[in-house]
Amino acid sequence: MAARTFLRRTDTTWVQVTPEVLDTAAADAFLRTGQAGGVVLFVGITRRFTHGRETVKLSYDAYVPMAGQEMRRLASEAAQRWPVHRACLLHRVGAVPVAEASVVLGVACAHRAAAFAACRWLIDTLKAQVPIWKQETYADGSTEWVEGQG
């Protein structure tokens, strides 16, 4: 049985892949530091309607240990590109009901411009690089593996 969780947490970086509900408040608390003036959080949520089709369930498959390593790599790369004080990258796997979070990415920087840029880069790059796949289950019972733009 392949690993279903990944967790590395230091004082400055928290990376986790887990089948459990993601805790935005814990992410926010982790990111708070007297050094940072701006925290930007991105929360990805299971949407009920996509192009008019109703989704009843999203399920995420992941190559968990590599996904965790890639997310750590993204955190380091973000910290090289922007003055990031703290970052968290949390991704849920398995079933994610509508309106629950599949991903929580957060960045704390001294100034807001860097925090926005780094958080946006993290989600864009995660969606292109991290080995996680989304399967939609539609209201008509059909399922589909969503393919990203690479």
Instruction: Choose, by CB under 8 A, the member of 8, 18, 41, 59 that binds a second copy.
Output: 41
- Amino acid making up residue 65: P
> Which residues are within 8 A (CB) of 103 and not within 5 positions of it... i.e. 6 or more apart?
22, 42, 43, 44, 90, 91, 92, 123, 126
Instruction: Choose, by CB under 8 A, the member of 15, 119, 126, 130 that binds a second copy.
Output: 119
From another protein, a second copy, none, interface partner of 148 (C-beta below 5 to 8 A by class): another protein
Does position 32 interact with a second copy (CB under 8 A)? The reply is: yes
Does position 60 interact with another protein (CB under 8 A)? The reply is: yes
H helix or E strand, kind and range, residue 23: none
Asked if 144 and 68 count as a contact pair (C-beta separation under 8 A), the reply is no
Stretch that binds another protein, among 23-31, 74-82, 113-121, 131-139 (CB under 8 A): 131-139
* 124: nearest Cα among 69, 54, 77, 60: 77
From another protein, a second copy, none, interface partner of 39 (C-beta below 5 to 8 A by class): a second copy
Does position 138 interact with a second copy (CB under 8 A)? The reply is: no
Which tokens in the block code for residue 45?
Answer: 């949520």
Does position 16 interact with a second copy (CB under 8 A)? The reply is: no
In the complex, least distance from residue 26 CB atom to another protein, rounded to whole angstroms: 20
Instruction: Choose, by CB under 8 A, the member of 39, 64, 78, 122 that binds a second copy.
Output: 39
> Which residues are within 8 A (CB) of 101 and not within 5 positions of it... i.e. 6 or more apart?
21, 22, 24, 43, 44, 45, 92
* 115: nearest Cα among 5, 12, 27, 40: 40
Residues interacting with another protein, by CB under 8 A?
2, 44, 60-63, 65-67, 69, 91, 102-103, 123, 126-135, 145-150
